[in-house]
Amino acid sequence: MDLETRIARLEAREEIGELVTRYAIACDEHDIPALTELFTADAVFDSPNGTMQAEGREAIIAMFCKVLAIRGPGYHWTHDRIVRFDRGSEDRASGLVLSHAETSPGGVHSLAAMKYDDEYRREGGQWRFAARTIRFLYYVPAADYDGALCRSDRVVVGDRRMEADYPEGLPAWRDFAARYVTEH
């Protein structure tokens, strides 16, 4: 890889990192115009548990308007991220973002840990989300946090408890459990 390509990729990584941060800020500030700018027109947003699903920028924004309408103050922060560039296009990449959030759906202080599986696309010189899948390790009322990791139904939406999206279903987790975990 030549020097120019390497520098361009470093710049793209930084721009994608800022895209991820702008998403967190837009969610926390309920800034719908800013959130709208972060997605491609044909973007897809998904969650394995089915609580957040939409196709197309307009549908994604409509979904966020519903979600944010019941949420008061919140704070999202991102941690580590991995970015992989498409071998066939310098305008496409995919990635993984590790994240936490404090939110208040329905006036209930809640804590969440999640991973985002992303696809990014550069349009008109700006990186945007082309696809975003959110997977929850937990999303629980703060009052239920103690002990939450010791149960599998640690995603709470309204009055429903759902199975967490990971890690129990991951092949590596299941393989490890089969090989090394013994019943107590």
The DSSP call for residue 105 is: B
pLDDT of residue 184: 54
E strand intervals along the chain: 39-46, 54-55, 75-85, 92-103, 110-123, 126-141, 155-157, 160-162
Query: Phi, psi at residue 8, to the nearest 5°?
Result: -60, -40
Q: Which residue has the tokens 């809640």?
A: 110
Q: Determine contact, residues 100/76, Cβ cutoff 8 Å.
A: yes
pLDDT of residue 88: 86
pLDDT of residue 107: 93
Residues paired with 140 in a beta bridge: 111
What angle (nearest 5°) sits at the alpha carbon of residue 153, between those of residues 102 and 28? 15
Separation CA 7–CA 149 (nearest Å): 41
Separation CA 17–CA 11 (nearest Å): 10
| Domains defined for the chain, CATH in brackets | 3-180 (3.10.450.50)
Q: Determine contact, residues 131/118, Cβ cutoff 8 Å.
A: yes
Entry field: residues in the chain: 184
Separation CA 122–CA 128 (nearest Å): 6
Q: Residue 147: left if φ>0, alpha if ψ -120 to 50, beta else—which one? A: left
Kindly give the confidence (pLDDT) of every residue in the chain, 184 residues in length, as a single tens digit, with 9 standing for 90 and above: 789 989 999 999 999 999 999 999 999 999 999 999 999 999 999 999 999 999 999 999 999 999 999 999 999 999 999 999 999 899 999 999 999 999 999 999 999 999 999 999 999 999 999 999 999 999 999 999 999 999 999 999 988 999 999 999 999 999 999 999 986 5
Q: How far is CA 109 from the centre of its chain?
A: 19
